[in-house]
Amino acid sequence: MLRLYTHPACLNHIPGPDHPESPARLAAVLRALDRDCFARIDRVEAPRATRQQLLRVHTAAHVARMLAPVAPGHAQYLDEDTVLSPGTAEAALRAAGANVAAVDTVLAGHVQHAFCAVRPPGHHATHDTAMGFCLFNNVAVGAAHALAAHRLKRVAIVDFDVHHGNGTQDIFWREPRVLYVSSHQMPLYPGSGEAAERGVGNIINRALSAGDGPYLFRELWEGDLLPRLRAFKPQLVLVSAGFDAHQNDPLADLCLGSEDYAWITAKLVDLADYCADGRLVSTLEGGYDLKALAASTAAHVEVLMD
């Protein structure tokens, strides 16, 4: 069985008109997952992350800044892309809390797979800086919880978002218990993700170029990244599931289709089966063409269900 964590509050983070990271993204995902073929999904409201859970990966000043009240009808710009609105704090707490709850339920053996359909996304948020639409690093909060509360020794974070997850890399730069593996387009925001960025040997970055499509994407994962993940033998697989490498996405220039997301998802399920007793938690990151996002997420979740 697949468990899905989401919350209506995640629709109430409003970055502003014409912002690509809009509530319509999550609404499109939830509509796609409301079809009869997804009726078997166990749907659970995401709890709020606690301050202690957030402080495992973020500074106290950062947490306070993200949770500071914003007056109704106003917005606070942290940079030109990253915005706090009156509903943001609750949305961000639920997005991070979904990951904690998903890790708990998967490690308890209640389900093998969980998907967190939440926003705002997280993988650009560093330990002390919100950026790239991201406030709290949701997947990092889940990984740190797995290490601290469940005492795991090896957690893999797999990131196939088209943008490099600089925040996740930053948070776990010196944490050998976490292996961070990313494929992404370069050059592209945020400008990080070179192969030479290795942390303590626990960071693996591989870049694709504008115009690259399914063959190169699959070759990269099959020939390089998946073997490295298997060698690490993670006890838990966490996925930063960004769908913005799709050929129709307006913010990047790769040429994947929804079938490629089904392919990589199947490979990650096999990895989790091989190394981690099947335990896998996936979390929504990017994806900014609504039709492509909905189709790609549905393909991803369908594999997780099976």
Tell me the H-state helices in the chain: 23-32, 51-55, 60-67, 88-107, 138-149, 166-171, 214-220, 226-232, 258-275, 290-305
* 306 CB-contact burial (10 Å; exposed 0-12 / middle 13-18 / buried 19+): exposed
Distance of CA 291 to the CA centre of its chain: 19
Phi, psi for residue 207 in degrees, rounded to 5: -100, 145
Structure tokens at 258: 């929804």
Task: From the candidates 13, 124, 145, 300, give the one annotated as an active-site residue.
Answer: 124
- Centre a 10 Å sphere on the Cβ of residue 244 and count the other Cβ atoms it contains: 27
300 tagged catalytic: no
At residue 42, φ and ψ (nearest 5 deg) are: -85, 110
Q: What Å distances lie between residue 140 and 1, 99, 147, 270, 284, CA to CA?
A: 24, 9, 11, 22, 13
Q: For the beta carbon of residue 16, count every other beta carbon within 10 angstroms.
A: 11
Pairing of the two strands 203-208 and 113-116 = unpaired
Q: What backbone torsions phi and psi does residue 178 show, to the nearest 5 degrees?
A: -115, 125
Distance CA(107)–CA(253), nearest Å, equals 37
Q: What is the biggest distance separating any 2 CA atoms in the chain, rounded to whole angstroms?
A: 51
The contacts of residue 244 (CB under 8 Å, 6+ apart) are 161, 162, 163, 251, 252, 285, 286, 287, 288
- Catalytically active residues are 124
